Amino acid sequence: MKILVTGKGGREHAILTALSESPSQPQLFAWPGSDAIASLATRVDAPDLPALIAFMKQEGIDLCVAGEEAWLVKDEGLANMCETAGIPCWGPRKESAQLEASKTFAKLFLKRHGIPTADFTVCESKAEALAAIKEYPTVLKFDGLAAGKGVAVCPNAEEAEAFLDDVFTKLLFGAGNLIVETCLTGPEISIFVSVCDDQYHILMPARDYKRIRDNDQGPNTGGMGAVASRDLADAALMQRIEEEIVKPTVQGLIKDGLRYRGFLYCGLMLTPQGPMVIEYNCRFGDPEAEAVLPMVRGDFEQYCFAAAQGKLAPELISFAEGWSICVILASAGYPASSRSGDAICGLEQVSDARVFHCGTRRNPAGVYETNGGRVLAVVAQGTTRTAARDQAYANADKITFDGQQRRTDIAKMHFE
C-alpha cells in the first residue's frame, strides 16, 4: 500500500510515524514533508495541488491522508481533487472544510444545529466590532486561517482596539471579517472524532496549551504542548460531549449535505453550563497529534484506508492506558516571529521518548537547525501523568538551541 500525507510539521511526522508502525508497513510519501520526515517517507516535489494529484495518479498512491488544513480549501480542494482522480482521501471536501476555514460558517452551522457555543456577532469593520463589544473580557476572532494566531481574548478596550487595528488597518491576516464573541470560562479539551459520512468514532481526548508562557500568560501560539489520556474526561462527560456535540455535528453535516470523511477536531470549553464548542478544525490537532498518536494500537493504516472509502472500523485501533505528554520547543521570537538557523544539539541523547520535528532542517553539514516557530515536539508516555511528564521534560532538557522557548507547566497546569 502506498500512502501520501500532506504537510510538513510535527503532526505530519506523528501521522507518518503511526502509519509506519502499522503491521503492514506501507510505503510512505509526504508532500512537501521535511528533512526529518524524509527518514520515513519519500518527499514529493510538486509545485501545486494539480501537480500533486498527477504525481499520485502516476505513482499509484492508494490513500491520501490530509495533515495540514490549508490544502483542503485550496483550488478545488484536496479531497475533491482526489475524488475526481479516484484516490481515496482521509480528509474532508472543500465545502465541508469551511467549518475550519470560515469561523462565520462554523458559528452559523453551530447555531443552525443547536450545538452549544458562545454568542457572537459577525462584523465587517472596526466600528461595527466596537459597537458589538458589550463587556470585557471579550473575544475577537479574525475569520480565516491564521495559524492559530487570529484570536485575541481582550481584557480591556485598549487591547481590543490594538487587535482591531491589526485586523482592519494593518490587515495582518489579510482581508476578512471579524467575530466578536462572548468570553467563556472553563478548562478546554480537544475532542478528536473520525467522521465518515453518518458514522463517527471518538478518539482519545487531549488538551493543548496555547499560550506562549507558563500559567497561560502571553500571546496565543499554535500550541506549546499537549497532554492526552482517556482519563482527561470521565464516562459521564464523554457521554454528554457525544450527545450534545458530536452527534448533532455529524447529523448537521448530513442535513447540510456536507460530506465529511476525515478527522474532525472539536475544540471545547467545559463551562459551568456544560461543554461548548470554541472551534472546529478539519484535521488532527497540532501538537495534540504528537501526544495522541503514539497511544494508538492496532492497525492505523487500515483504519484510515477503510474510513476513506466509507467504512469506519473502530475495532481496528485502540488507545493505550495511561498518559502521553508533548512538550514543544519553540524558537526565539515565537509567536510574533521565528528565528531559523540555530543549531540543535542533543537529539541523539533522547531515550524513551519520541521527538517529532515541527520546524527543522538539516544544514549542509547534516546538523539539524531551527526552521520555524515551533521546532520540536518531545513526547513521552507513562502510566501516570507525573511519570509521563517527568520523562518528557527529562528528555526535553537534553535538547538545546539558542533562544529556545518552552513552557514548564505542560500537564501540570489545570491538574495541580
Out of ligand GLY, ligand AMP, none, which partner does residue 285 contact, by CB within 5 to 8 A per kind? ligand GLY
The listed partner (ligand AMP, ligand GLY, none) that binds 141, CB under 5 to 8 Å by sort, is ligand AMP
Task: Choose the contact partner of 7 out of ligand AMP, ligand GLY, none; CB within 5 to 8 A by kind.
Answer: none
Residue 259 CB, nearest approach to ligand AMP (Å) = 24
372 binds, among ligand AMP, ligand GLY, none (CB under 5 to 8 A by kind): none
Report the residue number, 7 or 285, with the smaller CB distance to ligand GLY.
285
Q: Does the protein bind ligand GLY through residue 205 (CB under 6 A)?
A: no
Sign of the Cα torsion 255, 259, 263, 264 reads negative
68 lies in the site for ligand GLY, by CB under 6 A: no
Residue 379: name its binding partner from ligand AMP, ligand GLY, none (Cβ under 5 to 8 Å by kind).
none
Q: Which of 26, 285, 294, 335 binds ligand GLY (CB under 6 A)?
A: 285
At closest approach, how far in Å is the CB of 128 from ligand GLY?
A: 27
Q: Which of 68, 143, 288, 290 binds ligand GLY (CB under 6 A)?
A: 288
Nearer to ligand GLY, 54 or 147 (CB): 147
Q: Which residues bind ligand AMP (CB under 6 A)?
A: 118, 139, 141, 148, 151, 153, 181-184, 188, 210, 220, 267, 278-279
Alpha-carbon span 253 to 197, nearest angstrom: 8
Residue 26 touches which of ligand GLY, ligand AMP, none (CB < 5 to 8 A by kind)? none
Q: Does 286 bind ligand GLY (CB under 6 A)?
A: yes
| Shortest CB 362 distance to ligand GLY, Å | 26
Is 12 a binding residue for ligand GLY by CB under 6 A? The answer is no
Q: Does 372 bind ligand GLY (CB under 6 A)?
A: no
Tell me which residues in 209-268 interact with ligand GLY (CB under 6 A): 223
C-beta closer to ligand GLY: residue 288 or 301: 288
Q: From the CB of 9, what's the least distance to ligand GLY, in Å? A: 10
Binding-site partner at residue 252 among ligand GLY, ligand AMP, none, CB < 5 to 8 Å by type: none
For the chain, give the number of residues: 416
Phi, psi (degrees; rounded to nearest 5) at 167: -75, -50
Site mask, ligand GLY, residues 294-333, x = CB under 6 A? ----------------------------------------
**104: which 3 cell numbers?**
462565520
